[in-house]
Structure 1
Amino acid sequence: MRFTSIFLSCVVVTICATSVENRSSDSLDEVLLFDAPAFQDPANASNTLVSLQAFVYVKQLDLSTLTSTLTAWTLGGITGSIETAVERLKLFTAVGVPGVSLSVGVGECSEQATLSATSSLPDLGLSMTNASLGLCSGGDTYTGALLNADDVVTMTIFPSGTNGYGVISDIDDTVKVSHVLDKLESIKTTLFDTPEPVTGMPDLYASLAQTLNDPPFIYITGSPYQLFPFLRDFFDDIFSQESRLSQVDRVHGMYSNMSFLTVGDSTQSDPEVYAEAYRKYGDFIRCIWIRRVDGANNTDERFTTAFNGVPETKYRIYTDDEIPSLAQIDVAGGSC
């Protein structure tokens, strides 16, 4: 039954994706705006660019079928709040809408930002654009609002300088307990449980925010974009390898004159990704921290291979017991 449902969804998507003409969003569309970094335009120092992402999908009217399906599923051994699971899963059932143009206004900036039309397959309904905001006044954050829309849709924009330090961080099992190595437990944690931070990490990141002089924190993840609202709420409350490396590439494109501390864990490909980024960009990656997760591949052979060509002074593999002591490391002074 699950395979049939997925196949039917693909059929519907394929039909919707044919004969696309660009248009503005309307009352039948839902729009998700992702929070975004803003940075200085390398071609014009007085201009601000913002890395905008949006997802446009057909408005969902009835999720009762999904609720009943999950109710039956939980009888098989996974327990938790069905309403919570439905809320976190709802974007996975959404049908993206191609060919929709969006504009975002920011009160502190002189120009409205325009996104490219949303994509057809395979990234149906998605749009990603580096857009100009013109001249922006000072501020720690800006609020962007969708223009010409029936509903109020907003996003938070995080401007930052052109030099200094930043932090690139993985999410799952680095700052949020996700149990990536236990698939059943990972599903339960993702769909049902109240998100839980890795012990000590909120305090560590609060310390880094002070010692690195309020750096931008850029979170990269292999989690699907449909989980963005859930992950955003987690950070508000608490504080594939090629895909992740491409995300680091994007950060380098925005902040090429900054230096970054990268933080990850050993469950997936963080050591390999961050090491490759160092080999590619040198001291743009100033320091690499990897959390040693019990049950993961923590062999010397794995780390020796991953960090081949990376000086030993540029990376640190730490245990949970060592997390409090990381706050004492003078990263800004060159220590790692």
Structure 2
Amino acid sequence: MQLHSLLPVVIFALSVHALPTRHHERGIFDSVGTLDNVLVFDAPAFPDPANPGNTLVNLQAFVSLRQIDLGPLTSGISAALKTLGLDVGNKLSTVEERIKLFGAIGLSGKTVKATVSGCSAQVQLNGTSGLPDLGMVLQTASLGKCGSGKESIAQVKTSGLDSRTFNATIFNSPNSGFGVISDIDDTVKISNVLDKLALAKSTLLDDPEPVPGMPELYASLAKSLNDPQFVYVSGSPFQLYPFLNNFIDTTYSASKGPILLQNLTLVDIPGLLDFAKSDGVQEYKVSMIERIHGMYPNKKFLAVGDSTQKDPETYGEAFNKFGADFITCSWIRRVEGADNSDERFAAAFKGVTAEKFRIYTDADIPSLANINVAGGEC
């Protein structure tokens, strides 16, 4: 699911599937400094196929100007919510926290250096990009030799004059065993993407709520699949990352993992609503699954999504593209009000045997834990 269709701003954006490193002449302002903010995304790590014993990480960061006045943006959003019948009331601080990255001014040409606990090499991301992905950088870098733990902390510091640190979790996993690729909105989190008013409320005002039974199911999968690599793939914009990351880390603490979101560049903020269409989400998600396949070509993945947008079509395409040895099973939550016709699912999973996908209801969620996915059941 994607949430950017409900943000009360007009966003002119370009979705990208990989952000190239930009080569430029280095200057005194290249390093991240006291006037900058850094968002470091939780990241997947995997064995280096060219150098056994070493670990690679697919690390992403966003560098922006530190001081931003959110007043105009907050006022515009508050007014836009009132047109939907929503009063911000005492939730102004919640709204500001969730939309602050939409007002961030990305900075190009910034070098981000991170140290990772338990690993021998420092990571250097060379040069945040210019337009259209201003301030963003994504690179695969070597961590050298790392300890045996699954989770480690990547830390970015600015300078000796600045006490701030920017941290992210690195999730290390072997190129074997199992993993889980999961959507977020209306798969593990109640977002009500089919209802504009309810989606705006759940995204900007309310405390996030899990789909009942899903935290317990994912905790069960974490055990039955022997500590799989969970990767959350969502069409939502990266500006919502802190909100979604906190939700996954707390509500799904037994099944934490990196979250892959679309890179959307905010260009204009008039006080209007733009309910953007979901065009391109399937292409984006398939490209993210291709990235995961590049890191873990020998893992077997369970793919979990829902019927509100393009998850069935995405997982069906991924199955046919990467094979049954990679996408071994797909589970799709049947959401009331979505297109849940047999014809839709038959077309989405064309070429996929019926034993390789399952359409489930909320009442089925507790029983999913009894399926022996590791043994080949679906």
Q: TM-score, normalised on structure 1?
A: 0.92
1:116, 1:128 within 8 Å by CA — same for their partners in 2? no
Q: State the SS of the aligned residue for 1:221.
A: strand
Q: 2:238 aligns with which of 220, 225, 248?
A: 225
Report how far residue 280 of structure 1 moved. Answer: 0.8
Q: Which amino acid aligns with 2:32?
A: S
Identity %: 55
How do 1:1-336 residues align onto structure 2 when only pairs under 5 Å count?
22=26, 23-76=30-83, 77-80=85-88, 81-149=91-159, 150=162, 151-239=164-252, 240-282=281-323, 283-336=325-378
5+ residue gaps, structure 1, are: 9-19
Q: State the SS of the aligned residue for 2:221.
A: helix
Cα distance between partner residues in 2 of 1:57 and 1:66: 17
Length, aligned pairs only:
322
Q: State the SS of the aligned residue for 2:202.
A: helix
Q: State the SS of the aligned residue for 1:32.
A: strand
Q: Which amino acid aligns with 1:127?
A: V
5+ residue gaps, structure 2, are: 1-8, 13-23, 253-280
> Over aligned residues, Cα RMSD in angstroms?
1.8
Report how far residue 148 of structure 1 moved. Answer: 4.1
Cα distance between partner residues in 2 of 1:6 and 1:189: 19
Cα distance between partner residues in 1 of 2:67 and 2:353: 51
Report how far residue 21 of structure 1 moved. Answer: 5.7
2:53, 2:145 within 8 Å by CA — same for their partners in 1? yes
Q: Which amino acid aligns with 2:120?
A: S
- Structure with more helix by fraction: 1
Q: Which amino acid aligns with 1:313?
A: E
1:113, 1:132 within 8 Å by CA — same for their partners in 2? yes
Cα distance between partner residues in 2 of 1:307 and 1:71: 42
Cα distance between partner residues in 1 of 2:178 and 2:286: 19
Cα distance between partner residues in 1 of 2:96 and 2:139: 30
Cα distance between partner residues in 2 of 1:153 and 1:135: 22
* Deviation string, structure 1 residues 154-179 (Cα, Å, up to 9, x no partner): 11111111211100000000000011
Report how far residue 98 of structure 1 moved. Answer: 0.8
2:158, 2:165 within 8 Å by CA — same for their partners in 1? no
Cα distance between partner residues in 1 of 2:294 and 2:54: 16
Cα distance between partner residues in 2 of 1:333 and 1:291: 22
2:68, 2:104 within 8 Å by CA — same for their partners in 1? no
